[in-house]
Chains A and B, each alone.
Chain A
Amino acid sequence: MFYRESGDFKTSYAKDTQTFPIKLDRIGYYVILAIAFITIPVMLITDVGGGANYWTNAILLPFLIWAIAAIGLNILVGYCGQLSLGSGGFMAVGAYAAYKLMTSFPDLSIFFIVIISGAITAGVGILFGLPSLRIKGFYLAVATLAAQFFLVWLFNKVPWFYNNSASGQISAPTRSIFGFEITGATATPEAKYLFCLVLLIGVAWLARNLTRGRIGRSWMAIRDMDIAAEIIGVAPLRTKLSAFGVSSFFIGIAGALFFAVYLGAVEVGEAFNINKSFLLLFMVIIGGLGSIFGSIIGAAFMVLMPVLLKNIMVNQLNWPTDIAVHFEFAIVGALIIIFLILEPHGLAQLWRLLKEKLRLWPFPH
């Protein structure tokens, strides 16, 4: 009744292959875009309630950036079936590449800095993806830990990466696009938000179209059974490495944004440690493996939940922060287990089930 697929006739080939073939989905998508591009920026500019900075920094920016990273990891884990625990390290590559580019080419637009950082990360990702041709499953997952620990150590120990700064930290100078400042202390919340939003939409669009094309299908063939895929003519080398490349490209973009736009200053062992890799994996699993939409809601869930828990425990109940942190750990852990037991295919599957229900509801047939 409420979610209708019928009566939506296609008259041209282009219409048949569009991203949202169902009219209702399309309308929903445009409504969300309108809210994201008009309502939220207006609220941020007018600063209703005076919380624009808090909202941007605590919720909007982390959500957008983690969503980009989650899409990246989902391509590798969900579409190509290669389990990776090295995402934190790849995000660090993106961040440090962005830092080196920002300081070496002061006139370069922030957009190109972010994209080139992503490309550099893609190169590193392909390098660390090479063993995946020999190593499979959990052995590969542990092998990607090598990337995580080695890269973090490298950025900590080689002064060239942080321009010999005394603290070993990197901090983002002010850079802009079309005259709007995106990074640095004086950048406005709405500029940062819009910049990340545009990148997220670009990444989601790219990922969606890659995954339903030839290359995406070869990823899924490798995921479902690599030997069978090899026999029917899918080249494992090209397929696996392209998955590593594309995935790291997105994760690198997220890393660059995480450092330059969100945090502003970064200490590598703190910002990109192993917990970030796990967090990203949680997002992908809870959101739903092999689903772009799932990555986005998975990121939203994992960003919002700690904020919510902290608000309840520290601000409402007035508990000391250390107890709140321990509780948060326990609750996050328990929720993950509960989620996996109730719906192993993630939030995306719940969404699919909901749509199924809404097709008939409230009528029985």
Chain B
Amino acid sequence: MSANFFYTIEVIANGLMTGVMYSLVALGFVLIFKASGVFNYAQGVMALFAAMTLVGLQNGQIPFAHLINTIFGTHLDKFGWEVPTFLAIILALGVMIGFAFLVERYILKHLVNQDPIILFMATIGLAYFMEGFGDLMWGSDIKKLDVGLPQGGNVWLENATEGWANGFYGFYIDNLDMWATVIAVALVASLIAFSNYTKTGRALRAVADDNQAALSVGISLRKIWVIVWSLAGFVALVAGIMWGAKSGVQFSLSLIALKALPVLMLGGFTSIPGAIVGGMIIGVGEKLFEFAIGPYIGGATENWFAYVLALIFLVFRPQGLFGEKIIERV
């Protein structure tokens, strides 16, 4: 077998793992869409905000330091202590849950029964708001996020597979990507267990099925929304940690939300397994396309390939892979 064959396998493996990272963001979308019918564009910014909060807490940054300095002429910077990673993660989760409360209290409650497009626009507004607010709170510089996950290529795997073919230097697989895969699997398993075996989880599924019926048997929609947005905040935190550890906590992190959209389309807006499978298809597809065809047409095809793939796919199956069949009545 030639080296090229192994390189292709390497590309596929890396694509799968990138796909898992996309799925992490897509999961948050699916959770919220199922429970409240809101297409939450702010999911990517939530991941960014969660990661920023985590880094800020870890380093003991004073929130709004830059703003306070500008207005009052002070020279604040840091509290002078560092919060241990585990505690910081718990605190960041607390912030995301508080955020879920605020979203429900000040936005969703007022927009019940509006058109989906109005709710969608509201989440775009929310995304803009959080972007500006997050930068004001923690500063807009690129931050390094270190939660103790191993980084860099896996040396053992590289050495073990070197020399399998002439001119092949072994598989290069990022340790962090492998961890991301493990964590994503654990996350999905626990989400499924949560929604199947707990009372709250059953209530979530009831709301997702039919919110009017759920309301009539005594499930509080507003409570469910808070729970769902908290869950999405938790997923955003996990995604933020993974992406932040991979490429630094910076503005571009919020753009992965856009990458999660074709993943959703492929998988269907309402399916958790769909988000995972869709992510993997997109991840492998774009990496393979860039590897095989990219060099001939100028490269950087990753920018658009996912969308075009999803577009072509949808023409044949409008509800996505695992989406509920769309039934229309007059």
Contact = CB atoms under 8 A, between A and B. Distances in A.
Are A and B physically bound partners? yes
Interface of A: 77, 83, 131, 134-139, 141-143, 145-146, 148-150, 152-153, 156-158, 225, 227-228, 231, 274, 278, 281-282, 285, 289, 319-320, 322-323, 325-337, 340-341, 344
A146 B311 CA distance: 7
Contacts of B140: 322, 326
Contacts of A138: 39, 116, 120, 269
**Ranked 9 nearest A-B pairs via Cβ:** A329-B132, A333-B129, A330-B132, A333-B128, A336-B125, A146-B307, A157-B298, A149-B304, A326-B135
B136 A326 contact: yes
24 contacts: A131-B311, A131-B314, A131-B315, A139-B319, A142-B265, A142-B310, A145-B261, A146-B310, A149-B303, A153-B300, A158-B298, A278-B124, A282-B121, A282-B124, A322-B140, A328-B132, A330-B133, A331-B132, A332-B128, A333-B126, A336-B125, A337-B122, A340-B121, A341-B122
Contacts of B303: 149, 152-153
Contact of B307 (A143, A156, A325): A143
Nearest to B323: A139
B131 interface: yes
Given A136-B318, A145-B261, A341-B107, A83 B129 contact: no
Interface string B55-75: 000000000001100100000
B70 A319 contact: yes
A278 B124 CA distance: 8
A278 B314 CA distance: 23
Interface residues of B, number: 54
Interface of B: 39, 66-67, 70, 107, 110-111, 114-118, 120-122, 124-133, 135-136, 140, 258, 261-262, 264-265, 269, 297-301, 303-304, 307-308, 310-311, 314-315, 318-320, 326, 328-330
Given A153-B301, A225-B330, A329 B39 contact: no
B85 to A, nearest CB: 27
A335 B320 CA distance: 34
A344 B115 contact: yes
B132 A134 contact: no
Which of B39, B301, B304, B329 has the most chain A CB atoms inside 10 A of its CB? B304
Nearest to B124: A278
A285 B123 CA distance: 13
Given A146-B308, A326-B140, A135 B301 contact: no
A190 to B, nearest CB: 35
A134 B314 contact: yes
A333 B310 contact: no
**Interface of B: prevailing SS:** helix
A325 B251 CA distance: 13
A281 B122 CA distance: 12
A150 B262 CA distance: 14
A130 B114 CA distance: 28
Contact of A149 (B70, B114, B131, B307): B307
Given A137-B116, A329-B132, A332-B132, 18 more contacts: A83-B117, A138-B116, A139-B269, A139-B320, A143-B310, A145-B258, A150-B308, A157-B297, A285-B121, A289-B117, A319-B70, A326-B136, A326-B140, A327-B132, A332-B125, A333-B125, A340-B111, A340-B125
A341 B110 contact: yes
Contacts of B258: 145, 274
Nearest to B329: A227
Nearest to B268: A139
A332 B314 CA distance: 34
Nearest to A140: B314
Given A142-B264, A281-B121, A330 B314 contact: no
